[in-house]
Structure 1
Amino acid sequence: PPHKTADHVASAHDRLEMVRLAVEDEPFLEASDVELDRPGPSFTIETLRHFQDQFGPESTVYFIVGQDAFSEITTWRSYQALFATARFIVMTRPGAKEKPLEDFIHAEISKAYQYDPKMNRYGHPEWHTISCLSITHLDISASQIRHCIEQERSIRFLVTEAVRHYIEQKGLYR
């Protein structure tokens, strides 16, 4: 990712292959290599616009993001244009308070977003919606996986078996 340092980051090709392996048994998911074909850094706004162009104006592009990443979205390139390009689904942890998320949306994105409790989403007169989806919290992060590998501890239940095998075979994160 363009906004991350290079320490302990797998190559873009390795990350793509791990995503492909992780979703290979999911019929409605597919990994895309569109960002690998671009020269230089790839930014989310360019990727979302690519898919909007590829699937046409009648299609709806959704961007699924975790609440932690969403809270840093103001650091992303052209972040306000993201909301005009795609519908957001923000994955929140159980028990996460709606108020801090609403405060963030109003302070950092747009005061025009209004919460609809029946739909559990924020609507905007000109931009796409921001929906909230509470998920079961799994205490797994990429940094935790890298740390386990550095400490030579098992990652068996943190990633799929195919991904674990790939990481071991390639010697990633060592």
Structure 2
Amino acid sequence: MNKRRCVGILGGTFDPPHWGHLRLAEHFSRLLQLDQIIWLPTGQSWQKEGVTSAQARLAMSEYAVETLHDLFLDHHIYTKIEISTLEMDRQGPSYTIDTVKELRALYGPETSLSFLMGEDSWAHLHTWNDWHQLTDYVHLAIASRPGKHPEAPATGLLANKMASDPTLLQSAPSGSVWLDRELQIDLASSDLRPALAKTTWNDAVYDGIPPQVLEYIEQHDLYRNG
């Protein structure tokens, strides 16, 4: 019996991309035996103000993906990585439900599609446009953060979708939610931006952001004017 094709979708504003994104991609590549990861920068963010330009976020994403390629090679992970401008090319606000519908049509009905996210996104999932339809098209794989956090509203609302084992996300095209407790990375772009705005960067900046991304930020003087 042939293995079902498994694809992970890592979406976000990536403003900026950081090691948390890369470690999340590495973790779920192993856990879900992903054949491919789609790195998907948001186009027009409808829930966030003052987002860095799409051009800059795409350029930073390209450097981040280069780093991720090297990380995968070093760790003998053979998941392919592709940057998609699907949301950036679309007119109007970037709604994840529209994106997963397009990706489902592109990859067909049998491919396992898993939307990868951190616990901060999971906490606000219930505010997304038509969020309750997402599991009709994809699985949801959530990486938790250290410490105690209030239960996300979606946890109760999607209780019947919660998977007892991550292999369930490999064996079906969509429909399951896996809340992972293993990764535990406490890193967010919203915490890094204030540090990047300062004249002198602290260790959190250098430890949190891949060097090539940081070099691009410095060259283009991003965040210090924001």
Structure 1 match to 2:160: 112
Could you say which structure has the greater relative contact order, defined with CA pairs below 8 angstroms and 6 or more residues apart?
2
Q: What is the distance in 2 between the residues matched to 1:15 and 1:121?
A: 33
Q: Partner amino acid for 1:19?
A: S
1:18 matches 2:68:
no
Cα 1:3–1:84 shift into 2, 3 Å: same
Q: TM-score, normalised by structure 1?
A: 0.81
Q: What is the distance in 2 between the residues matched to 1:156 and 1:73?
A: 30
Which of 95, 100, 104 is equivalent to 1:52?
A: 104
- The structural deviation recorded for 1:47 is 1.1
For structure 1, list consecutive stretches of 5 or more residues without a partner in the other structure: none
Q: TM-score, normalised by structure 2?
A: 0.64
Matches for 1:1-174 after TM superposition, within 5 Å: 1-6=45-50, 9-27=51-69, 28-94=80-146, 100=151, 104-106=154-156, 109-113=157-161, 116=164, 119=165, 128-154=175-201, 155-174=205-224
Q: What is the distance in 2 between the residues matched to 1:173 and 1:25?
A: 22
Q: What is the distance in 1 between the residues matched to 2:47 and 2:68?
A: 29
Asked if structure 1 preserves the Cα contact closer than 8 Å seen for 2:114 and 2:138, the reply is yes
Q: Partner amino acid for 2:211?
A: E
Cα 1:105–1:113 shift into 2, 3 Å: same
* CA RMSD across the alignment: 2.6
Cα 1:114–1:63 shift into 2, 3 Å: closer
For structure 2, list consecutive stretches of 5 or more residues without a partner in the other structure: 1-44, 70-79
| SS in structure 2 at match of 1:57 | coil
Larger Rg over CA atoms: 1
The CA deviation string for residues 49-73 of structure 1, in whole angstroms up to 9 with x for no partner, is 1111111112121101111211111
The CA deviation string for residues 81-138 of structure 1, in whole angstroms up to 9 with x for no partner, is 11111101010135658x935x7522xx24533553xx16999xxx711012224444
